[in-house]
Amino acid sequence: MSEKKHPEHLALFPHATVRPIQEALVFTVQHCLANRQHLVVHAPTGLGKTAAVLAPCLQLALSKDVEIIFLTSRHTQHKIVLDTLRLIKDHHAATFLSTSIIGKQGLCAQPNTHTLRSADFHAYCKALRTAKQCTFYENFKLKTNPQTPKLFHSLKNTAPNTTEYVLQEASAAELCPYEISLLLAAESKVTVTDYYYLLNPAIRENFLEKTGKKLGKTILVIDEGHNLPARARELLTNTISQITIARAIKEAKQHQFEKLMPLLNALQRAVDEISAPLNFNDERKISKAQLLSALPDIPVEILAQQLNEHADLIREEEKQSALGSIASFLESWDGSDDGFVRYIMKKESRASIIYRCLDPAQLTQELISQTYCTILMSGTLTPTSMYKEVLGFPQNTVERSFPSPFSAKNRLVLVVPQTTTKYSQRSPEQFKTIATMCANMLKSIPGHVAIFFPSYALRDAVSTTLSSASHKTVFSEQPGMTKEQKQDFLERFVRYKEAVLLGVAAGSFGEGVDLPGVLKAVIIVGLPLDRPTLETQELIAYYDKKYGKGWDYGYVLPAISKCMQNAGRCIRTEHDRGVIVFLDERYAWPQYLNAIPKEWDAVVTTEYVTRMKKFFEDTEK
């Protein structure tokens, strides 16, 4: 327990000292809680936002009949929350239970289930439980099983625990790790979980019912909030391809589900006919009726029900079913027109039909409105007004932007307007120029550097020349890397004295990677603007109609957010010193230059080598 007693407003702050900027955030959170106002807050890396937000929230939760649900975009982000909660318990002898819980699939003790598609896993789990074939679930349900209360009390005593530990202990006791986690969450003041637990209406309803929680008595903290709009849109998006339909037909034939063949054949013909006029990589909008009118004249919900019933039979043996994918898609396709776009896309040799959500507020607005208070936070939540609007926060929501807590002397930010990755200007000569300039920068930077590109294709176009010109060992990120491969990649990268990581803005290492004291520079090549696809055009049009800011909200600012995340990989602690380079002529344009935080004092220059050398020479003095 800490010897120093904090003032009342910092009663549960987990550290012995508090920085002024943290204290300002604590006051802001307390104000919002007291007035039942939501908060959208930009809090840069190093501010200590987790501690500054959790302490006042927990102080209120322990004094009132309210609880905290802390949402993260990735499971790896649970650790800092759990560590902060442990510090609060240790330093203040505070008595409360907290639980980390991830999706049912991640907590499943059954073998070979982690690689299944989400929908297939849940259907397979349901089938096992219905048939009473899951030993872990059956043991948990058995009222007289002494292992259940024994494990429950053991996990309470050691809380907060990682989900890996709960999975290990519950599996060893032959009990369902997911059900044990729900028991713990039901008694917890703080539950740390993933976005989908509350974003997905079906999962949310089940979670709240099983844990006895009520949104009206919940302080909802959403971390890495810049990810929330895309996650919400993705959750309401559904797609099927010609390959999925072909697999479904094969399944139906193999299992002699003859009554499904008219529906599946009609669906296949419809997609073939709609896609026939398209060239490869073409796309065009279609209507709901264009697809539904080709199917048997039966209500869509009945068709989906028939498909799901047969899919369940297949999953009992094979764990996954394309018939279930078709059922899920048809249910979505029959949904709303407002805030959605329906289109067909032909890529290479196959066509896909997509029902794409454009408006994340369709999911988030109702959720936010029901909570006691919602706090949305991130180190790159700018402008806060955009996130407030597109996520459906009410007008009286408080918006705050805090400056970086790190000394400006530790950071050199350069805008180098001598190249571009603009599509119309891409050429072998342009790629060679980019490679040469990056190589010149690498020679002026001691140690480790990360370079982020808009895409793998552009990265590869530059990397051949860059690799031969660089004196540093080159590490190239690959798409689709597993968690273990990413960890091994970073460990090997760090072991070298001089190394450069060639990554992609929206890839595995563009955000969420913490390498304190390692990176001496981050170079951001080009702007990671989305291709002007039909979806992007529709998103711009939708935001223009709804907010009058389509170009900014649908195109420019999401790209800038990725760049800011990339830039944030450089300086992770108050002791780090490094250079951040924005390499593209467009960064010198007002609409992009103004998006770089003012306190970064970005310098537009072509004398980048001179400035870099001086910065690192001054560092050594």
- Token match 């407002």: residue? 338
Structure tokens at 432: 């060679």
**421 in Cβ contact with 531 (< 8 Å):** no
Instruction: Judge contact between 526 and 580, C-beta under 8 A.
Output: no
Identify which of 212, 195, 236 has the alpha carbon closest to the alpha carbon of residue 78. Answer: 195
Spell out the residues 6+ positions from residue 175 whose beta carbon is closer than 8 angstroms to its own: 136, 139, 140, 145, 147, 148, 151
Residue partners of 564: CB distance under 8 A and separation at least 6: 379, 380, 382, 597
Residue 303 has pLDDT above 90, yes or no: yes
State the amino acid at position 412 in one-letter form.
L
The span from the CA of 180 to the CA of 192, in Å, is: 15
The pLDDT, as a whole number, for residue 5 is: 55
Please report, in angstroms and rounded to a whole number, the separation of the first and last CA atoms in the chain: 40
Return mean pLDDT, the chain. Answer: 92
Residue type, 416: V
- pLDDT computed for residue 2 by the predictor: 38
Residue the block writes with tokens 């760090």: 494
Cα–Cα dist 14/10, whole Å: 9
**3-state SS track over 121-134:** HHHHHHHHHHCCCC
Host H or E run for residue 236:
none
Q: Which fold has domain 408-620?
A: Rossmann fold (3.40.50)
**Chain centroid, CA 538 distance in Å:** 22
Q: Where are the alpha helices (DSSP H) in 106-227?
A: 118-130, 135-141, 147-158, 163-172, 177-186, 196-199, 201-211
Token pair recorded at residue 121: 């896993």
Domain residue extents for the chain: 1-96+191-232+372-399, 103-188, 238-357, 408-620
Q: Which of 301, 377, 491 is nearest to 80 (CA)?
A: 377
The per-residue pLDDT for range 328-364, each reduced to its tens digit, is 999 999 999 999 999 999 987 799 999 999 999 999 9
Distance separating alpha carbons of residues 252 and 267, to the nearest angstrom: 14
417-440: average pLDDT: 93
pLDDT 10s digits, 97-127: 999 999 999 999 999 898 888 888 888 898 8
Fold of 1-96+191-232+372-399: Rossmann fold (3.40.50)
Which residues pair with residue 353 across a beta bridge?
240, 344
Instruction: Give CA torsion, residues 492, 497, 498, 499, to 10 deg.
Output: 10
**Helix H or strand E encompassing 192:** strand 190-194
Show the tokens assigned to 338. 């407002």
Query: What pLDDT band is residue 620 in, cutting at 50, 70 and 90?
Result: low
What pTM was computed for the model?
A: 0.91
For 119, residues 6+ apart whose C-beta sits below 8 A from its C-beta are 324, 325, 328
What pLDDT is recorded for position 3? Answer: 40
> Is 1-96+191-232+372-399's fold the same as 408-620's?
yes
Q: What is the pLDDT of residues 554-612, one digit of tens each?
A: 999 999 999 999 999 998 888 899 999 999 999 999 989 988 888 899 999 999 999 99
Beta strands in 489-529 (DSSP E): 499-504, 519-525
Tell me which residue has tokens 């344009």: 589
The pair of three-digit structure tokens given for residue 319, joined into one six-digit string: 């764990």
With cut-offs at 50, 70 and 90, classify the pLDDT of residue 415.
Answer: very high
CA–CA separation, 441 vs 228, rounded Å?
Answer: 35
Choices 1.10.275.40, 1.20.1260.120, 1.10.10.410, 3.40.47.10: CATH for 238-357:
1.10.275.40
Asked whether residue 390 carries a pLDDT value surpassing 50, the answer given is: yes
Tell me the backbone φ, ψ of residue 340, rounded to 5 degrees.
Answer: -135, 160
